[in-house]
Amino acid sequence: MNWYQLDAETVEQKLHVTTGAGLKAKQVDKRRKEFGANKLLTEKEVSRWLIFLKQFQDFMVLVLLAATLIAGVLGEYVDAIAIMVIVLVNGFLGYFQEQKAEKSLAKLKEMSAPVASVMREGEWVKIPSGDVVVGDVVRINSGDRIPADLRLTKSNSMETEESALTGESLPVMKHASAIRKDGLDAQDQVNMGFMGTLVTRGSGVGIVVGTGMNTVMGQIASLMTGTTKTITPLERKLAELGKILIFAALILTALVVVVGVYQGHPIYNMFLAGVSLAVAAIPEGLPAIVTVALSLGVQRMIRKKAIVRKLSAVETLGCASVICSDKTGTLTENQMTVKELYVNGKHLYVTGNGYSVQGDYFLNDKKVDRDFPNLNSMLLYGMLCNNASLQLRKGKYNIDGDPTDGALLVAARKFGLSHVLHDQYKVVKEIPFDSTRKRMSMIIEDENKMRFLITKGAPEVLLPRSDFYLSEDGRKMMRTTDKQTVENAINGMAQNALRTIAIAMKPLPDDGDADAAVLENELTFVGLYGMMDPPRKEVKAAVNECREAGIKTVMITGDHEKTARAIAENLNILPAGGMVLNGYQLNQMSISDLREVIDDVSVFARVTPEHKLKIVKAYQENGHVAAMTGDGVNDAPAIKASDIGISMGRTGTDVTKEASSLILMDDNFTTIKDAIIEGRNIYENIRKFIRYLLASNVGEILVMLFAMLLALPLPLVPVQILWVNLVTDGLPAMALGLDQSEDDVMKRGPRNPREGIFSRGLGFKIVSRGILIGVITLASFMLTYQGTEESLVYGQTVAFTTLVMAQLIHVFDCRSEKSVFARNPFQNIYLVLAVLSSLILLLGVIYWEPLQPIFHTTFLGIRDWMLILVLSSLPTVLFGFTKK
């Protein structure tokens, strides 16, 4: 027997579970042990050895190793071993960096892993999809990716898209009854939900019958290959730049070698020096440090509740010039409270806050009677045409489900209606809510077997469908003037920033076939609900901060234009004279029409998710880098098309999460702003260490080149060059990647996405500092080297120390675009520690006797240090005054 052939009860019995209560914790544990995690095993782990060995695959490193081997054979044991050790340490460092990057990426993947809504111990809980076990009762909604193979026990107009399994992209309508036929393919098992497929419409409940590799998807997955790692644009740019830099470094070192040999240096010595120089000057570690910086930034973002799904988003975030944000839930709390009711042509006011059930109904300051006409029916309809439930947890009421629906339950409770008796009213059929239809309906059968339709939704959608209305004296024909009266009521509520919902019904004839009711027409209008969804407190400040940073905030909502306008004004999103466009107007406009006005528009109201794509495109064609938020299935195309797609961690569907590059754990607009700050900062930090590394390398090459041109001996020996490369390029560069942002990151405009790495004066900074570092190092050598064999080690020690000190001072310069004096040097504690540890290592190499022969160093006195400090601070201090 196959699962699809069994009826739901048999499935429950076989798996020892009831749909009403779900599994018990003990059962879950046992099954978890027995079947393992609900995961597809497709990815192979890269072996640690391979990562380690990869660090040595670089061509110049291999040449260096070969050269040292020769040195060893020729009897230069000390040099050979020293170089070997340094290369090995360097390899370890690269290995750890890569490991760290991999680890944080893996952690990221885990955090953005999908969750499933399951019934356990009688309660609905959200768990990571990987923890689902056989027998779990799972609830799925439109937009969800099905977490495991399910035998459906309930389907509300549920449709799924199973192209991942069957290649068929047309949605499949699902039901929940057993199918007797034998030997059906997956695509014909329409009472099953399959792992990895998407729910495109409706909702359902099912019992898990297969997890992990024991699913239909699992059988296919074993054929799939692992995922490929994507490179971000910046990493690509840097890889290209790296090639140019390698080329330049090779030419320059070749020049050093040629000039040196021409000046009479022994070929072998020059060769080893040249190769060491090449190894030091080639920024082979750059892409790895960039990845580390990106992933460290990503971790900081996680602490601020933003999960980056694509590393490339980190870069793009810094370029964002417009944020298109959903209103409900992102700019507002998504905590709805009914404040006003319109029934029988009268406005009633409701007291109370949030989801608390304390509150009363008032008409003109007088408490409303229990028998106020039609009020009871209206509230009852609101409770019936509803998918939320009200729960008391720790003395506080909470909503499980849609907050809009929840608000209606609270409103009913305030009037004394509490439980909808399920044996009294039966749901015959549900037509689910979606943001495009802007309405939902339920067909209900009461205890006398009388059926009726309840429809609730946006008033402008319901009003044209209503031919009647409910008055104190019963049902009446809706005339144009009556419609006008209701419209006035809607406008009045919307102007007060209330979200409006209309409710209507239609009695169905006894023999009425339910399908006709699906038309949702000839309705009887019952009343209006006006609900408050307070703006999030911190958003106004965030919007202002974005404006200062050259980023425009745009509100997008399905709500009424007037509601949207009122909230936008409150949040300072809509400036005086700013434009509001509605969905109807958007329909009339082509993208090029929209482009003309869109820079003046701050609010889009009564739009459907489909409009979002048009909005994104218009912004992009106007040269903007657009961020777009969304939560529902229909938002996915716009999210994908935007430069930074943002989805909601709490209310978002799997489809939008998968399409997005950023997930907001708290659904909060402020988090977008924080992510942008972080995105800008990470990019600036990457610029900082590129600047630092390249200026250092320029200095190292130039000091050698100048010395050769002046027919001097080598100012630095190969081990010293390699030491500089290891010590100063290692930790201090990493610490720059962790630097705080400059105070004015959010006072500048967004970065132009097309700008090169060296723009905004970075190229000049690198070259100017690099040349000066080369010059002062050479000067220190010439001032101390007297032409004797003895003074050579002395001169080299001074030159080496000057070069290291110049770099360790210069690293502070790299923290600011303006001047080294613009920032407190002790602010970045990592940098201070990194510099201190480099200093200690430097002192060790100079003063610890056993190391002296290895590093060709000698003791230095106070006067030497004075010379060194003056010279080494020149490149930084001089340019600190020019501010260039």
Distant-in-sequence, close-in-space partners of 272: CB < 8 Å, separation ≥ 6: 67, 68, 71, 79, 718
From the number of C-beta atoms within 10 Å of its C-beta (0-12, 13-18, 19+), residue 596 rates as exposed
Q: Specify the stretch interacting with Mg ion by CB under 5 A; choose among 108-116, 126-134, 320-328, 758-766.
A: 320-328
Q: Specify the stretch interacting with ligand ADP by CB under 6 A; choose among 205-213, 434-442, 706-714, 842-850.
A: 434-442
What is the β-pairing status of strands 579-582 and 601-605? parallel
Contact 38, 211 (CB under 8 A): yes
Distant-in-sequence, close-in-space partners of 764: CB < 8 Å, separation ≥ 6: 884
Binding mask 461-500 toward ligand ADP (x if CB under 6 A, else -) reads --------------------------------------xx
Binding mask 271-310 toward ligand ADP (x if CB under 6 A, else -) reads ----------------------------------------
CB of 579 to ligand ADP, least distance (A): 18
Residue from 149, 405, 561, 739 binding ligand ADP (CB under 6 A): 405
The DSSP code for 418 is -
Name residue 504's amino acid: A
**For the CA atoms of 860, 862, 868, 871, what is the dihedral angle to 10 degrees?**
-160
Q: Specify the stretch interacting with ligand ADP by CB under 6 A; choose among 157-165, 236-244, 320-328, 463-471.
A: 320-328
Nearer to ligand ADP, 486 or 695 (CB): 486
Q: Specify the stretch interacting with ligand ADP by CB under 6 A; choose among 41-49, 201-209, 401-409, 737-745.
A: 401-409
From the number of C-beta atoms within 10 Å of its C-beta (0-12, 13-18, 19+), residue 733 rates as buried
Our finding on whether 197 is near Mg ion (CB under 5 A) is no
**Residue 501 binding partner per list ligand ADP, Mg ion, none, with a CB distance cut-off of 5 to 8 Å that depends on partner kind:** ligand ADP
Nearer to Mg ion, 129 or 328 (CB): 328
Nearer to ligand ADP, 295 or 668 (CB): 668
Our finding on whether 456 is near ligand ADP (CB under 6 A) is yes
CB of 151 to ligand ADP, least distance (A): 28
Nearer to ligand ADP, 89 or 461 (CB): 461
CB of 558 to Mg ion, least distance (A): 6
Looking at the DSSP assignment, which residues form a beta bridge with residue 582? Answer: 605
**Residue 326 binding partner per list ligand ADP, Mg ion, none, with a CB distance cut-off of 5 to 8 Å that depends on partner kind:** ligand ADP
CB of 603 to ligand ADP, least distance (A): 11
CB of 640 to ligand ADP, least distance (A): 19
Residue 230 sits at φ, ψ, to 5 deg, of -100, 150
Residue from 27, 68, 90, 328 binding Mg ion (CB under 5 A): 328
Q: What is the distance between the alpha carbons of residues 612 and 633, in angstroms, rounded to a whole number?
A: 13
CB of 463 to ligand ADP, least distance (A): 12
Instruction: Name the residue among 275, 279, 293 with its Cα closest to residue 238.
Output: 293
Nearer to ligand ADP, 326 or 654 (CB): 326
Residue burial 509-535, b: 16+ Cβ < 10 Å; e: rest? eeebeeeebeebeebbbbbbbbbbbbb
Our finding on whether 810 is near ligand ADP (CB under 6 A) is no
Q: How many residues bind Mg ion (CB under 5 A)?
A: 1
Q: What is the distance between the alpha carbons of residues 675 and 666, in angstroms, rounded to a whole number?
A: 13
For residue 492, what is the enclosing H or E element? helix 480-495
Q: What is the distance between the alpha carbons of residues 5 and 659, in angstroms, rounded to a whole number?
A: 35
Q: What is the distance between the alpha carbons of residues 489 and 480, in angstroms, rounded to a whole number?
A: 14
**Residue 455 binding partner per list Mg ion, ligand ADP, none, with a CB distance cut-off of 5 to 8 Å that depends on partner kind:** none
For the chain, the residue count is 884
Where are the extended beta strands (E) located within 656-716?
662-664
Q: What share of the chain is helix, strand, coil (3-state, %, to 5)?
A: 50, 20, 30
Residue from 202, 359, 558, 713 binding ligand ADP (CB under 6 A): 558
Nearer to ligand ADP, 404 or 780 (CB): 404
Q: Specify the stretch interacting with ligand ADP by CB under 6 A; choose among 167-175, 399-407, 540-548, 584-592.
A: 399-407
Our finding on whether 728 is near ligand ADP (CB under 6 A) is no
Tell me how far apart the terminal alpha carbons of the chain are, to the nearest angstrom.
Answer: 78
Our finding on whether 232 is near Mg ion (CB under 5 A) is no
Instruction: Name the residue among 684, 740, 750 with its Cα closest to residue 547.
Output: 750
CB of 438 to ligand ADP, least distance (A): 4
Our finding on whether 563 is near Mg ion (CB under 5 A) is no
Instruction: Say whether 326 is catalytic.
Output: yes
Nearer to ligand ADP, 401 or 753 (CB): 401
**Residue 559 binding partner per list Mg ion, ligand ADP, none, with a CB distance cut-off of 5 to 8 Å that depends on partner kind:** ligand ADP
Nearer to ligand ADP, 340 or 742 (CB): 340
Name residue 661's amino acid: S
Our finding on whether 651 is near Mg ion (CB under 5 A) is no
**Residue 838 binding partner per list ligand ADP, Mg ion, none, with a CB distance cut-off of 5 to 8 Å that depends on partner kind:** none
Q: What is the distance between the alpha carbons of residues 681 and 673, in angstroms, rounded to a whole number?
A: 12
Q: What is the distance between the alpha carbons of residues 17 and 273, in angstroms, rounded to a whole number?
A: 74
Our finding on whether 458 is near ligand ADP (CB under 6 A) is yes
Residue from 404, 653, 685, 801 binding ligand ADP (CB under 6 A): 404
Residue from 97, 269, 295, 557 binding ligand ADP (CB under 6 A): 557
Q: How many residues bind ligand ADP (CB under 6 A)?
A: 20
Nearer to Mg ion, 656 or 720 (CB): 656
Name residue 507's amino acid: P
Our finding on whether 634 is near Mg ion (CB under 5 A) is no
Pairs from 353-358 (Cβ < 8 Å, separation ≥ 24): 355/390, 355/396, 355/397, 355/398, 355/399, 355/406, 355/407, 355/410, 356/396, 356/397, 356/410, 357/390, 357/397, 357/410, 357/413, 357/414, 358/414
Q: Specify the stretch interacting with ligand ADP by CB under 6 A; choose among 110-118, 225-233, 555-563, 746-754.
A: 555-563
Nearer to Mg ion, 467 or 610 (CB): 610
Nearer to ligand ADP, 149 or 520 (CB): 520
Nearer to ligand ADP, 215 or 387 (CB): 387
Q: What is the distance between the alpha carbons of residues 55 and 285, in angstroms, rounded to a whole number?
A: 9
Catalytic residue among 326, 482, 559, 864: 326
Q: Map 275-313 to HEC letters.
A: HHHHHHHCCCCHHHHHHHHHHHHHHHHHHCCEEECCHHH
Question: C-alpha distances in angstroms, 412 versus 358, 417, 830?
Answer: 11, 5, 58
Residue from 457, 645, 730, 737 binding ligand ADP (CB under 6 A): 457
Our finding on whether 656 is near ligand ADP (CB under 6 A) is no
Beta carbons within 10 angstroms of residue 36's beta carbon: 15
CB of 411 to Mg ion, least distance (A): 18
CB of 500 to ligand ADP, least distance (A): 6
CB of 404 to Mg ion, least distance (A): 7
Q: What is the distance between the alpha carbons of residues 197 and 852, in angstroms, rounded to a whole number?
A: 67
Contact 153, 195 (CB under 8 A): no
Our finding on whether 326 is near ligand ADP (CB under 6 A) is yes
Beta carbons within 10 angstroms of residue 87's beta carbon: 19
Nearer to ligand ADP, 501 or 695 (CB): 501
Residue from 174, 265, 309, 439 binding ligand ADP (CB under 6 A): 439
Residues noted as catalytic: 326
Binding site for ligand ADP (CB under 6 A): 326-328, 402, 404-405, 433, 435, 438-440, 456-458, 499-501, 557-559
Binding site for Mg ion (CB under 5 A): 328
